[in-house]
Amino acid sequence: MPKTGFIGLGAMGRPMASNLARKGFPLVVHDLRREPVEALIALGASPGNGVAGVAQAAETVITMLPDAPDVAAAILGAGGVLENLKPGGLLIDMSTVDPATTDKLAAAAAAKGIGFVDAPVGRLVAHAEQGKSLFMVGGTAADVARARPMLEAMGDTIHHCGPAGAGTRTKLVNNYLAIFSCMMNAEALALAAAFKLDLKTTLDVIYGTTAVNGQNKINWPNKVLKGDTSPGFRIALAHKDATLITEAAAKAGVPMFVGAAARECLGQAMRTGDFGGRDFSALLDYVCAQAGVAPPRL
C-alpha cells in the first residue's frame, strides 16, 4: 500500500482517515487541532510535521478542507503540498470548492508531474464513519485507478464523472438538491407545526407522495426531528456551498431562482445566534423560531 498523507481531520475527514488507518494504509496526518491527530495516532497513524511534512513523507496526499482559500493555501501556497510532494505522486482533493479552484489545482499538479483527482464526498458523517461514503471523481482513468484503493477503503460507491474538475461540478449539482430541499423541508414542517398537525401523520403523508426526499426521510428523523442538531454538515458550510453553487451557475448562465432565495435564508440563519455551527437540519428550528412556533419533534 502506498504511504498516504491526510490533511484535514474535520467532521468528515477524521472518519475518512480513520477508515484508511483501520484498513492498514500507512498513514501520516495533519490538522490544525491536536485532538483529531491524537485520535488517528491511536489508530496507528503518524503525525506529520505540518503540510510540508505530510507531503514529504507520502506518495499520495489527500486533502479535505473547509473552503477554497484553505485548499489553495495547503496545496499551492509556500511550503504547500505541491512544493513538497515528489513528481509521480498523487494528489486527491476531497474538499468542496468552486470549479475554478479545482481547475487551478489540476493544472498546477500537472505542471509538477503529479497526478490529480478531485473526489468530493456525498452522503453524511454517519456514512463516513461506516465507510459507506459516495465519491464523485474527476481525473484521468490512470489517476482514478491509482486513487481507487484509497477511495474504496473510505466508501462503497465511486462514480468516475469525467476529467479533472468533473467531480467538483457534480458535487455542486448534488448539493444544490441536498441543501435547498433542506430549506424547503424546514418551511413545510414549520407550516405543519403552525397548523398544529401531528408530525408523524404529516410525515406518513409526505413519505407516500412525490414530496418525499432524502432529507425528510433519511437525515431529519436521525437529526433535528429527534432533537439532535450537533453538526454533521454545518449551516455555515451549507451557506458556503450555496454560494459556490449560485456563483458557478451564474458563470454558466443558468438562473438560480430558488437557489438564490435559499442562499439568502441560509445566510440569515448563519448570522442568527449559534445556528451557523449547528447541523443544516437545524434550519427547521430556525424557521420555527422566526414563525414563533415550537419546533416539531418525533
Does 2 score more than 90 pLDDT? no
Q: What is the CA radius of gyration of the chain?
A: 20
- Grid coordinates representing 225? 426531528
Does 1 score more than 80 pLDDT? no
Residues 143 and 233 in one domain: no
Judge whether 256 lies within some domain. yes
User: Is 223 among the residues known to form the active site?
Assistant: no
Residues 133 and 13 in one domain: yes
Q: What is the CATH number of the domain that holds 14?
A: 3.40.50.720
Residues 14 and 132 in one domain: yes
Residues 37 and 100 in one domain: yes
Q: What is the CATH number of the domain that holds 196?
A: 1.10.1040.10
Judge whether 235 lies within some domain. yes
Residues 9 and 149 in one domain: yes
Residues paired with 30 in a beta bridge: 7
Judge whether 297 lies within some domain. no
Judge whether 205 lies within some domain. yes
Residues 252 and 150 in one domain: no
Query: Residue 15 and residue 129: Cα distance in Å, rounded?
Result: 5
**Last-in-domain residue among 106, 130, 164:** 164
Tens-digit pLDDT profile for residues 214-225: 999 999 999 999
Residue 12: name the closest of 122, 102, 137, 117 by CA. 122
Judge whether 243 lies within some domain. yes
The pTM of the full predicted model, rounded to 2 decimals, is: 0.93
Tens-digit pLDDT profile for residues 149-180: 999 999 999 999 999 999 999 999 999 999 99
Residues 53 and 122 in one domain: yes
- 102 contact partners, CB below 8 Å, separation of at least 6: 93, 118, 138, 164, 165, 167, 168
Residues 131 and 240 in one domain: no
Say which of 23, 104, 132, 171 is annotated catalytic. Answer: 171
**Last-in-domain residue among 124, 139, 164:** 164
- 154 contact partners, CB below 8 Å, separation of at least 6: 16, 19, 20, 128, 131, 133, 135
Residues 190 and 67 in one domain: no
Judge whether 169 lies within some domain. no
Tens-digit pLDDT profile for residues 98-128: 999 999 999 999 999 999 999 999 988 889 9
Residues 186 and 276 in one domain: yes
Residues 67 and 198 in one domain: no
Judge whether 255 lies within some domain. yes
Domain hosting 186: range is 176-291
